Amino acid sequence: MQFSPALLASWLTLVAVAAAGSAAPVTPPRVIAVRLDNEAITPITARFLARTLHAAAGEQAECVVVILDTPGGLVESTREAVKEILASSVPVVVYVAPAGARAASAGVFITMAAHVAAMAPGTNIGAAHPVALGGLPIGGPPRPEAPASEKTPEEPEENASRRRAGTTPAEDKAVNDTVAWARSLAELRGRNATWIERAVRESAAVPAGEAVAEGAVDMLATDLPALLEQIDGRPVELPAGRRLLRTAGAVVEEREMWWGERMLAVLASPNLAVLLLILGFYGVLFELYSPGWGVAGTMGAICLALSFFALSFLPVRFAGLLLMLLAFVMFAAEVFVTSYGALALGGALCFVLGGLMLVESPAGFIGVSLNLLLPFALATALITFVLVASVVKSHRRQIMTGAEAQIGAPAVAAADFRSAAGGYGGPVRTHGELWQATSTEPVSSGMQLEVCGREGLTLRVRPAVPT
Q: What are phi and psi of 138, to 5 degrees?
A: -65, 135
- Check whether 133 has a pLDDT greater than 60: no
Instruction: Please indicate, yes or no, if residue 154 is contained in any of the structural domains.
Output: no
Residue 378 confidence class, pLDDT cut points 50, 70, 90: confident
- Between strands 423-430 and 433-439, the pairing is antiparallel
Residue 390 confidence class, pLDDT cut points 50, 70, 90: low
- Torsional class of 157: left (φ above 0), alpha (ψ -120 to 50), beta (otherwise): alpha
Per-residue pLDDT at 210: 94
CA 176 to the chain's CA centroid: 25
Q: Are residues 73 and 88 both part of a single domain?
A: yes
Which of 139-153, 192-206, 217-231, 287-301 is the most confident on average?
A: 217-231
- Torsional class of 36: left (φ above 0), alpha (ψ -120 to 50), beta (otherwise): beta
Measured between alpha carbons, how far is 394 from 389 in angstroms, rounded to an integer? 9
- Check whether 450 has a pLDDT greater than 50: yes
Q: Are residues 346 and 230 both part of a single domain?
A: no
- Count Cβ atoms within 10 A of the Cβ of residue 91 and give its class: 0-12 exposed, 13-18 middle, 19 or more buried: buried
Measured between alpha carbons, how far is 216 from 108 in angstroms, rounded to an integer? 10
Share of the chain above pLDDT 90, in %: 30
Measured between alpha carbons, how far is 366 from 399 in angstroms, rounded to an integer? 55
Measured between alpha carbons, how far is 430 from 411 in angstroms, rounded to an integer? 5
Average pLDDT of the chain is 79
Residue 422 confidence class, pLDDT cut points 50, 70, 90: confident
Residue 393 confidence class, pLDDT cut points 50, 70, 90: low
CATH of the domain at 441: 2.40.50.140
Q: Are residues 67 and 184 both part of a single domain?
A: yes
Tens-place pLDDT, residues 156-191: 444 444 444 455 666 677 788 888 999 999 999 999
Measured between alpha carbons, how far is 214 from 87 in angstroms, rounded to an integer? 27
Mean pLDDT throughout 94-109?
92
- Check whether 409 has a pLDDT greater than 50: yes
Tens-place pLDDT, residues 35-81: 998 888 888 889 999 999 999 999 999 999 999 999 887 788 889 99
Q: Are residues 315 and 451 both part of a single domain?
A: no
Angle at 197 between CA 192 and CA 202, to 5 degrees: 130
Instruction: Please indicate, yes or no, if residue 307 is contained in any of the structural domains.
Output: yes
Residue 277 near residue 249, CB atoms below 8 Å: no
Q: Are residues 425 and 390 both part of a single domain?
A: no
CATH of the domain at 53: 3.90.226.10
**Among candidate residues 227, 260, 293, the one where a domain is terminated:** 260
Torsion, Cα 229 233 237 238, to 10 degrees, reads 80
Task: Quote the radius of gyration of the chain (alpha carbons, Å).
Answer: 39
Q: Are residues 294 and 371 both part of a single domain?
A: yes
Tens-place pLDDT, residues 320-346: 888 888 888 887 777 677 676 778 788
Which of 3-12, 42-51, 313-322 is the most confident on average?
A: 42-51
Residue 366 confidence class, pLDDT cut points 50, 70, 90: low
- Between strands 219-220 and 124-126, the pairing is unpaired
Residue 74 near residue 41, CB atoms below 8 Å: yes
Measured between alpha carbons, how far is 286 from 300 in angstroms, rounded to an integer? 9
CA 465 to the chain's CA centroid: 68
Q: Are residues 316 and 415 both part of a single domain?
A: no
Instruction: Please indicate, yes or no, if residue 5 is contained in any of the structural domains.
Output: no
Per-residue pLDDT at 213: 94
User: Number of folded domains in the chain?
Assistant: 3
In terms of residue numbers, what domain contains 456?
402-463
With a CB cutoff of 8 Å and minimum separation 6, the contacts of 389 are none
Per-residue pLDDT at 188: 94
Tens-place pLDDT, residues 228-286: 999 999 999 999 899 999 999 899 999 988 887 778 777 777 888 888 888 888 887 77
Q: Are residues 417 and 336 both part of a single domain?
A: no
Q: Are residues 204 and 315 both part of a single domain?
A: no
Q: What are phi and psi of 30, to 5 degrees?
A: -115, 130
